[in-house]
Amino acid sequence: MTSTELDLTTTTPLATPVTARKSRAGTARIRFGLIVIAVYVVAAAIGPWLIDFDSVATRTADRLKPPGSRLSDGSLAIFGTDQVGQDLLAQMLQGARISIAVGLATLLLAGTIGVTVGIAAGYFGGWLDGVLMRLADIQLAFPSILLAIFIAALLGPSVVNVVIVLAVSNWVTFARVARGQALATRRREFVDASRTLGAGTWRLIRRCVLPASVAPVLVVATVEIGHVILAEASLSFLGLGTPASTPSWGVTIANGRNYLADAWWISTVPGIALAFLVISLGVLGDALRDRYDPRLRSL
């Protein structure tokens, strides 16, 4: 009797094409996202030079002109004018600059805080990890827009304050991702090997842990920047973000509320611009996440 066994499970030929299939996924979405974002960035960078915008100028003759109107100086207002006769397009280009700058600055600040905290927690572990992660838990259990509103209310409206407020309410995501990477890297053999060879803590973090965190942190940053820009606009709309004198999208939309009956375009057009940017960032972030780090999906 053959009372023995044989293991034939060497490879699964069917599995190969399945894994190969995903690697190219999302190319179209990444391309779409990058192109739209590039257009916004270019418009924000050079737009305000091409079309003058003077935040204090008022031209009563050109008040509340609908999109496509000729203004008194002969120029064309593609998106119309607002309640003080300002060209809406010029205002929106300036707004794009503010939104993108606030978004990037916030990510930089939140990312720096988050990655530092996350790597410290993940690499050193122990009580430090416990304290930092409980802090993160508390903050996650607290609606972030409320925290932002509270701090913004105390600090008062200013561009710098918006960045601080949004960074404080967004660092946790970065901390969690960086901590996960630090935990995973710390246990890898090459880290042990470097440590055995006499590499110091700082060097290990800089050469082993930090590089491993770069890709997932960038993916998270792409996903988060849309949320940050949206949050900035929401705060500005509530009068808690950028000051009323700055032409940020949120402020412009809030101003237009009072003229809905006569000038629908003041609130509508900047909102479309804002939504389209956030959608493109979302598409890009999702595609990058799907391609490089599907584990981050729950974020």
Partner 1 sequence: MGAYVVRRLFFSVFVLWGAVTIIFVVLRLVPGDPAYIMLGPDADQAQVDALRAQLGLDHSLAQQYVTYLTNVVHLDFGQSFRLSTDSMTLVMQRVPATIQLASTALLLSLLIGLPLGVIAALKANTWLDRTISVFSLLGQSTPSFWLGIVMILVFARNLQVLPSSGSGSWAHLVLPTVTLALPFLAILVRLTRSGLLEVVHEGYVQTARAKGLAEGGVILVHALRNALIPIVTVVGLQFGALLGGTVIVETVFAWPGVGRLLIDSISRRDYGVVQAAILLVATIFVLINLLVDLLYGFLDPRVRLAGDR
Partner 2 sequence: MTATDDPTVIPAGQSPAAALLDVRDLRVEFSTSAGPVTAVDGASFEVRPGETVALLGESGSGKSVTAQAILGIVPKPAGRVTGGSIEYAGRDLLAPGTAGSLRGREIAMVFQDPLSSLNPVFRVGAQIGEMFRKHRGASRKQARAEALDLMRRVGIPAAEKRLDDYPHQFSGGMRQRVMIAMALALSPKLLIADEPTTALDVTVQAQIMQLLARLQAEEGMSLVLITHDLGVVADVADRVVMMYAGRVVETGPIREVYDHSAHPYTAGLMGSVPVIDGPRQRLTPIQGSPPDLLHLPSGCSFRPRCQYAGTICAEQEPPLLPAPGRMPGHQSACHHADQVLSQGAPHV
Q: Smaller CB distance to partner 2: residue 1 or 261? A: 1
Within 51-170, where are the H helices?
88-124, 126-140, 144-155, 159-168
Q: Where are the alpha helices (DSSP H) in the chain?
A: 15-22, 27-50, 88-124, 126-140, 144-155, 159-168, 171-186, 189-196, 201-204, 210-237, 249-256, 265-292
**Separation between Cα atoms, residue 60 and residue 72, nearest integer Å:** 10
User: Is 92 in contact with 269 (CB distance < 8 Å)?
Assistant: yes
Query: Under a CB-based contact definition with an 8 Å cutoff, are residues 289 and 219 in contact?
Result: yes
Q: What is the distance between the alpha carbons of residues 63 and 80, in angstroms, rounded to a whole number?
A: 9
Question: Which residues in the 215-234 window bind partner 1 by CB under 8 A?
Answer: 226, 230, 233-234
CA angle 176–181–187, rounded 5-degree value: 130
Q: Which two tokens stand for residue 208?
A: 């082993």
Stretch that binds partner 1, among 34-42, 48-56, 149-157, 209-217 (CB under 8 A): 149-157
Q: Which does 257 bind (CB under 5 to 8 A by kind): partner 1, partner 2, none?
A: partner 1
String marking each residue 62-91 x if it binds partner 1 according to CB under 8 A: ------------------------------
* Sequence-separated (6 or more) residues with CB below 8 Å from residue 138: none
For 112, the token pair is: 């720096």
Secondary structure percentages of the chain, helix, strand, coil, to 5: 70, 0, 25
Binding residue (CB under 8 A) for partner 1 from 84, 128, 199, 279 = 279
CB of 25 to partner 2, least distance (A): 10
Out of partner 1, partner 2, none, which partner does residue 20 contact, by CB within 5 to 8 A per kind? partner 2
Amino acid identity at 30: I
- Residue 16's binding partner among partner 1, partner 2, none (Cβ under 5 to 8 angstroms by kind) is partner 2
Residue 5 binds which entry of partner 1, partner 2, none, CB below 5-8 Å type-dependent: partner 2
Q: Which does 21 bind (CB under 5 to 8 A by kind): partner 2, partner 1, none?
A: partner 2
State the minimum distance, in angstroms, from the CB of residue 137 to partner 1: 7
Closest CB to partner 1 among 209 and 274? 274
Provide the binding-site residues for partner 1, judged by CB under 8 A.
Answer: 134-135, 137-147, 149-151, 153-155, 226, 230, 233-234, 237-240, 250, 253-254, 256-257, 260-261, 264, 267-268, 270-271, 274-275, 278-279, 282-283, 297-298
